[in-house]
Structure formats: structure tokens, C-alpha cells
Chain A
Amino acid sequence: MIRFLLRRLAWSALVVWVVATTVFVIYFAVPRDVARLIAGRQASEQTIQIVRARLGLDKPMGVQYLSFLRRLAGGDLGESFLTQERVTAIVARDFPVTASLALGSAVLWLVMGVGAGVIAATRRRSATDHAITGIALTFYSMPPFLLGQLLLFFLFFQLYLAGFEFFPPGSYVAFSDSPLQWARFLILPWLSIALVTAATYSRLTRSAMIDVLDEDYIRTARSKGLTERRITYRHALRSSLTPVVTQFGIDLGGLMGGAIVTEVVFGLPGLGREAVQAVATQDLPIIMGIAILSAVLVVAANLAVDLGHALLDPRVRFE
């Protein structure tokens, strides 16, 4: 077990290093004048030279790379070109928003997706099944940003016109300040990520359950007289969950992406919106910092999932 852990840790560290190096290569090794970017278009040659010297851009590439790595290892992600604020501070401020968004939608999609899948599977070929499958198909074809806009239109605007301001967009209230308000501002964003992903999970669960329900050991359970409900929840569900867990591990990576778009649509002050704005202002340190951080988060999440897998299924440890 320890060996497995060490191997995965080593592997994760490698991935993070590769990502960091790639980011470095894209930003520093590509022939562009970073100093000019920072100094601004109006700046004189002299200013640019000063900026270049201060940022260490006149040193050879190898030296720059090493100092980049060193700072990274120390947790220093540089400063914003625009505001000089430390990137780590920016990230720390935005992170709770994105985390709330991501985790909330993950919980929602798991519950909705698996639930819908189980219902569809146990009522195979019925009208309910067809309805659920059709709805799922529609939802998972939709990109989250479109769903977000539609939700805004129908669940916020139309209701607002009717006099009910239930789910206003545009701001974020910390959980510690007011859990109710926190949820209220996040519900539509959660749904716009969760519904799309839940659709995929409902299909996954449905097909996994259908396979399991056809297995001999389920037939045995039925013939022993167990109720259908017990069969579904205690026996069939457990086996059907394996592909779901696997898929969840994979989807953790995609969460960042969903969060980015949703934050833009709903105006939430999270990492995603920060990154998009940084692209517009060409504020490279912020983008780099967020990119590296996302990679670290994904790798950490995958590690946790692998660990969970290994604990549940001893065969995995020997791969």
C-alpha cells in the first residue's frame, strides 16, 4: 500500500512539473517581449529595460527557468502585471468562490444523476424511462454556458418579472456570513453545471444498473423473495457505482472548465472569471498561476480518487 502511494505521489509530482515547465515554455521561451507588455505600450525603451532587469528577463533562459521553479516550490506565483498584487493573494481570495461552486455542483450532479439513472433503470422501457432518457439527452448536449443563460432567463428573469426575486445573479456571499444567502446566489450556477453532468451520470448509472439487474445473482435474490427495493438499493446499486466513481475521478478535471464559464455567465468573482479577465488584459502571471494551480488541484483530486479506489479494490494496488 505504501508503495502504491509513493508511486502515485511521484507520478503526480511529475505531472505538476511537466505542467509548470510547459507553462514556462509558453510564456517565457516563446519569443515575445514580456517586458514591453508589462511596461505598457507607451513606455520608453529605458523603462522597458528597467522592467526587464527587475524581472530578471535579461538573464539566460536556464537561469530564469530555475528561479521560476524555485519560486514555484516556495509557493510564489509572482505578481499581477496590472495591479502588482501577489497572485497568491488573488488566488486565495477567489478560491472559496470557485470551490463552493465546484463542490456544490458536484454533490448535486451525483445525487441527481445517480438518482435519475436508478429510477430509469428500474422502470426500464416505461414512459418515465423514456422521459428521463430524453431529458438527459437534451441536457448533456448543452454546453454549460447556454444552460446558464437559459436558467437566468427562465428562473431568474421571468420570475423577477412576475415579482419573485428568488435567484439573483451577480454576487457571492461567503458561507461563513450567511449560509442561506450563500446558497441562494449559487443555486442557478450550481444547476447550470450540475444538470449537464447529471445527464451524463444518469445515462451511465442507468446502463450500469441495467447490466447488473440482468445478472444471475440478482435473479437469485429475487427468487429468494427479496423486495425489489431492497434488491435495487442494497445489491444492484453497489455494483453499478463502480463506473460512476471512475467517471467522477475523470470529471474532477473538467470541473474547472465548467466553473470558468459559469462564473462568467453569472458574474461570480472566482478563479475562472479572474482568468478570463486576465486574458483580456494580458496579465500573464495570473493566468499562469491559475493554470498551474488547476493542474495541482486536478492531480490532487485524482490522487484522492485513486487512493479511494485502492482502498476499495485491492487489485488496483498491483497495477
Chain B
Amino acid sequence: MLAHRGERLSSAHHSARPGEPLVSLERVVKEFPVKRGGLFSRSREKVHAVSDVSLEIRRGETLALVGETGCGKSTLAGCVMRLHDLTSGKIVFDGTDITAASHAELQPFRRRMQMVFQNPYGSLNPRRRVGSIIGDPFDIHGLARGAERVTRVHKLMALVGLNPEHYNRFPGDFSGGQRQRIGIARAIALHPDLIVCDEPVSALDVSIRAQILNLLDDLQRELGLTYLFISHDLSVVRHVSNRVAVMYLGRVVEVAPVDDLYEHPRHPYTRALLSAIPVPDPDREAAREHVVLSGDPPSPLDPPSGCRFHPRCPRAEAVCASEAPRLARAPGDAAEHLTACHFPLADHELLATTTVGQRA
């Protein structure tokens, strides 16, 4: 449908071409101080949400960020969107360092990166009409008023598969899937370069997920979007992404093109995550390796030393507790496939010492 190329030229000039980095995260650290006690007692504890993450998001791709709850992926998304200030590190958006940018300086960048939220019921103001909600970006950045704004919102609604006649309805009148479409319409209103999708389908019925994912896919092609796709659901991720980064307790433990990751996982944690994806065929399912990790993920208040995964890792040795591994190419891997592990798994190696019959 309509690509509105006219507007894209009027927004800030972009230098990154397809494949080149659109967003660069360099050694990003984000810590939250934990407030305990009142005026006179200040706790020293900190939540280490993101610890030393370096990543690139390349124009035109879909980079998936996966991990368990609490691994820091949502916080990282918040850092990319500059919802938080960084504790340390650098964020570069299309050649410009936006780490320390003020609210005013960030405004032009706000038009170029947007977010789709997880909760279709919380991400839309229940007391406002959807037309007004979708039209917010135009209002905030002063790009369209009155009748022209209404027209544009109608087009956006059609673009995401909503009936433009529902402009004056309230979010309460729509289903979860439709509300996500509203949220998506709002996100693409100004034709941003980057969209961060924070678990966009996790709260939706399984039957609706495919629709929304297909919509996101169509929009990516039509509007030339770049996605940072955050999810804990690996089966979804495989369908939508070009590259995948796996996070554990604030660090990236493995990053690779999608097929490489699924077929040749090198990090023990990745292997464990993948083994948890059920396979429909019961025979194949029974024949697979199942990795059961012991214990719960430690708290981000007091992460383990060295490799943060070492307390749960069946392959851990002394060096794992003392030295944190860096992201590096494992022997035999493609240049793009990086793993942070002292003893990365080879293809044929089994992680668990238990086989199917002895599964706990």
C-alpha cells in the first residue's frame, strides 16, 4: 500500500544503508539503585539490569533479543529508546551519539525510533479515543493538524487492518489483537527507522499471533523498517528474525544469524533454551535432548562472579567462576556467530548427563 516516501525524505537524513548499523550499543551498563530506608539510610544495593552489552542493530534486519524474565532485555530496550539514562556506555543512532542527549535534543530521534508494547490492555489510554491516540505522534511533533491529521490516521488504520470508521471508539471496544494493531499504527505513524517490539504477541491468543506477526512482516517490507524484536518465546523468534541475541542476567551470551543459532547453538544456556521448545511430533520429541537446568536464575541484585551462568552450568570449571568470558567466534563458526563461553559446545556434544529415560 502507500509508502509515503515523501515524508521519509523530509525527516532527518540517514546515512546507514541496508545492512549497515543503524543502532550501536557499546558497553552499555544500566543499574538501578534500590531504595531502602528513609531519609537517613541509603541502601547500597543495585539491580544490575544490563551489564556491559555491545550490540549492533543493522538497517533492514530483525534482531531478536531473547532470554528469561529478568535477564534485562526490556531494560535494554528502554536504554535504546532512551527512556532511561545509561549508567555507562554509549548508544549511537545512525551515526549520532545520543547517550547524553537532553529531552529537547532527543526529539528528532523520537520520530525515528518507536516502540510496540507487550500489554494491549495497558498500552492504550482507556479514556481517549483511538483516533486521538494514533494521531498523537503528529500532534507531539507538530506535523499535521485537524482534518489532515484525521486523514492520515485513517490511512494508518487501514494500513494495519483496522476499520477507519472506528476512529472515535475507545480502546475498550476492541479485542486484544485489534489493540495491538492500534499500538502498531501509532508506532509507524511517523515512519520511523527503528521499531522496538517488546513481546508484541506474548499477551495475545495463539490464534491471533500469526496475524500480528504477519502484519509486522508486511509493514517491514512496505516501510523499510528495522526491528528489535524482544521475546522469551523461541518458536516465535525463529519465524521473524534475521539474527538472534541471547541474554542471560544482563549480558549477551550468544549472538548469531537465526539459522546458525538454532542449528548450532554453542552456549550451554542457549542449548537449554532451545531444548525447552516442544516439538509436535511425539517420537522426535522423545528422541531429543532435554536439558533441565538446576536451580533458579540468581537475582540481578547480586549476580555471580565471572560467567554469570556458571552456578547452573553442567560444564562449569574453575575459570568460569573467576573470569567472565568475552563474546568471540567459536572455532568453525561463521564470522557473525559470537559466543561468550570458555567451553562452547560443539555440534555433537550433549549438555545434559541425563538422557530421556532418566529425565527428572
CA A4 to CA B36, docked complex, whole Å: 14
Residues A3 and B40 in contact, CB atoms below 8 Å apart: yes
- 8 Å CB interface, A1-51 against B: 3-4, 7
Q: Which residues of A sit under 8 angstroms from B39, Cβ to Cβ?
A: 7
Q: Which residues of B sit under 8 angstroms from A319, Cβ to Cβ?
A: 38
Expressed in whole angstroms, the minimum distance between the Cβ of B146 and any Cβ of chain A is: 47
B37 at the A interface (CB under 8 A): yes
B41 — nearest CB in chain A belongs to which residue? A3
Expressed in whole angstroms, the minimum distance between the Cβ of B186 and any Cβ of chain A is: 38
A318 at the B interface (CB under 8 A): yes
Q: Which residues of B sit under 8 angstroms from A7, Cβ to Cβ?
A: 38-40
Residues A318 and B40 in contact, CB atoms below 8 Å apart: no
> Could you tell me how many residues of chain B have their Cβ less than 8 Å away from some Cβ of chain A?
6
A317 — nearest CB in chain B belongs to which residue? B38
> Could you tell me how many residues of chain A have their Cβ less than 8 Å away from some Cβ of chain B?
5
Q: Which residues of A sit under 8 angstroms from B38, Cβ to Cβ?
A: 3-4, 7, 318-319
Expressed in whole angstroms, the minimum distance between the Cβ of A203 and any Cβ of chain B is: 29
CA A7 to CA B41, docked complex, whole Å: 12
CA A7 to CA B37, docked complex, whole Å: 13
Expressed in whole angstroms, the minimum distance between the Cβ of A317 and any Cβ of chain B is: 8
Q: Mark A296-319, 1 if CB is under 8 A from B, else 0.
A: 000000000000000000000011
Expressed in whole angstroms, the minimum distance between the Cβ of B179 and any Cβ of chain A is: 31
B40 — nearest CB in chain A belongs to which residue? A3
- 8 Å CB interface, B16-44 against A: 36-41
B36 — nearest CB in chain A belongs to which residue? A318
Expressed in whole angstroms, the minimum distance between the Cβ of B36 and any Cβ of chain A is: 7
Expressed in whole angstroms, the minimum distance between the Cβ of A314 and any Cβ of chain B is: 13
Expressed in whole angstroms, the minimum distance between the Cβ of A2 and any Cβ of chain B is: 11
Expressed in whole angstroms, the minimum distance between the Cβ of B20 and any Cβ of chain A is: 51
A319 — nearest CB in chain B belongs to which residue? B38
Expressed in whole angstroms, the minimum distance between the Cβ of B8 and any Cβ of chain A is: 51
Expressed in whole angstroms, the minimum distance between the Cβ of B268 and any Cβ of chain A is: 41
CA A319 to CA B39, docked complex, whole Å: 8
Show 11 residue pairs from A and B whose CB-CB distance is below 8 angstroms, ordered by the A residue: A3-B38, A3-B40, A3-B41, A4-B38, A7-B38, A7-B39, A7-B40, A318-B36, A318-B37, A318-B38, A319-B38
What 8 A-B pairs are tightest by C-beta distance, nearest first? Answer: A3-B40, A318-B37, A318-B38, A319-B38, A7-B39, A7-B38, A318-B36, A3-B38
